[in-house]
Amino acid sequence: MSGRTGIFAGDDPFAIARDWLAEAEKTEPNDPNAIALSTVDADGLPNARMVLLKDIEEEAFVFYTNYGSSKAQEIEQAGKAAFVMHWKSLRRQVRVRGVVSREEGQQADDYYASRSLKSRLGAWASDQSQPLDSRATLMAKVAKITATHGPSPKRPPFWGGFRIVPLEIEFWADGAYRLHDRFTWRRTTPSGAWEINRLNP
């Protein structure tokens, strides 16, 4: 592909995304792995929120959440999601659209175990996206969970990962006079061959 050199070079979009994230980890002041995750509800109304991307695998992007949350229910209903990862310090972004499946195996157990104890207990205590009458109620529930599950809680059955396998990835870098560089990688199926195109800014 003509012009796909420098930061856009390579035959593996996941490797490019990992390289960009590694570069951002050196420059972004907070959460370089933050993504704006977009879903749609049963009525087709879009929803977006910030979550933390935890892994860029060989063929997928992985994040974790409560399966009872709005985002999880919307993902389960649609089977699809999109996100954008933007780094102001690099003036770059990566956009992803794809199909989604759960990660509920050893990988989810390992990631859950790697979190701080307070975060693990918080996952048990929070009925994510559900109404809450006060913070005091939540803290009381955390205390109860702490007494019940102790210092080494197992991963809750309602908490785990989602794996987004992209059908489209776009790499964007800021250009002078708003003449940005944009390249999209598209395929029609998760196992299909990529078609790469440069886009107008």
Q: Which long-range contacts (CB under 8 A, 24 or more apart) does 77-80 make?
A: 77/41, 77/42, 78/39, 78/40
Q: 49, 178, 186, 187: which one is catalytic?
A: 178
Q: What is the mean pLDDT of residues 29-43?
A: 97
Per-residue confidence at 2, pLDDT binned at 50, 70, 90? Answer: low
pLDDT at 3: 65
**Which has the minimum average pLDDT: 51-60, 63-72, 97-106, 145-154?**
145-154
Q: What is the mean pLDDT of residues 9-17?
A: 96
Per-residue confidence at 51, pLDDT binned at 50, 70, 90? Answer: very high
Per-residue confidence at 1, pLDDT binned at 50, 70, 90? Answer: very low
pLDDT at 86: 98
pLDDT at 178 over 90: no
Examine the residue annotation and report whether 178 is marked as an active-site residue of this protein: yes
Query: pTM for the whole thing?
Result: 0.92
Q: What is the mean pLDDT of residues 146-151?
A: 89
pLDDT at 183 over 60: yes
CA-CA distances (angstroms) from residue 142 to 3, 28, 58, 137, 153? 54, 32, 36, 9, 12
